[in-house]
Amino acid sequence: MLVQEIMTVPARCASPQDSAASAVELMHSLGIGVLPVVEEERVVGILTDRDLVLALAGQERGLKELPIAAVMTPGAVCCRAEDTIEAAAALMGDHQVRRLPVLDDAGHLAGLLSVSDIAVHASEQLAGEALGEIAEYR
């Protein structure tokens, strides 16, 4: 089974110049906890709800003045739409991430793959193995 068969489409994303407040609003309205950050059609980072909480701890600036670029995790571990689910799960485990932006042949954001997608649509066992690797302390 391939990633493109089970990934979430469309993947919502944000721009590095967007405000953290707009990211919070989008995450809240969609009930999600992660946004790929895209600039010029390329994934340049990832923003999680955890990134936002940690960035705001001790901050005096408000969310509206804080650009996503200041709080996102630069770079992102990504997979390709044509990758197998097994390869994507291994990548998740190796990098200890629960979600992967999925890229198309041109390197543009095509979707998002989560451990939950793997569990629900492919294999609970494979998802469990990936989660075990993700949760390991290194």
Per-residue pLDDT tens digits for 76-113: 999 999 999 999 999 999 999 999 999 999 999 999 99
pLDDT, average across residues 102-128: 93
Q: Is the pLDDT of residue 36 over 70?
A: yes
Q: What pLDDT shows up at residue 60?
A: 64
Using pLDDT thresholds of 50, 70 and 90, give the confidence band for residue 8: very high
Percent share of the chain, pLDDT over 70: 96
Q: What pLDDT shows up at residue 16?
A: 97
Q: Is the pLDDT of residue 50 over 60?
A: yes
Q: What pLDDT shows up at residue 39?
A: 96
Beta strands in 25-133 (DSSP E): 34-39, 42-48, 73-74, 79-80, 99-103, 109-114
Cα–Cα distances (Å) from 38 to 15, 46, 78, in that order, read 5, 9, 13
Evaluate whether 36 touches 23 at the Cβ level (below 8 Å).
no
Report which of residues 23 and 55 the model is more confident about: 23
Q: What pLDDT shows up at residue 59?
A: 67
Q: Is the pLDDT of residue 4 over 80?
A: yes
Q: Is the pLDDT of residue 138 over 70?
A: no
pLDDT, average across residues 70-79: 94
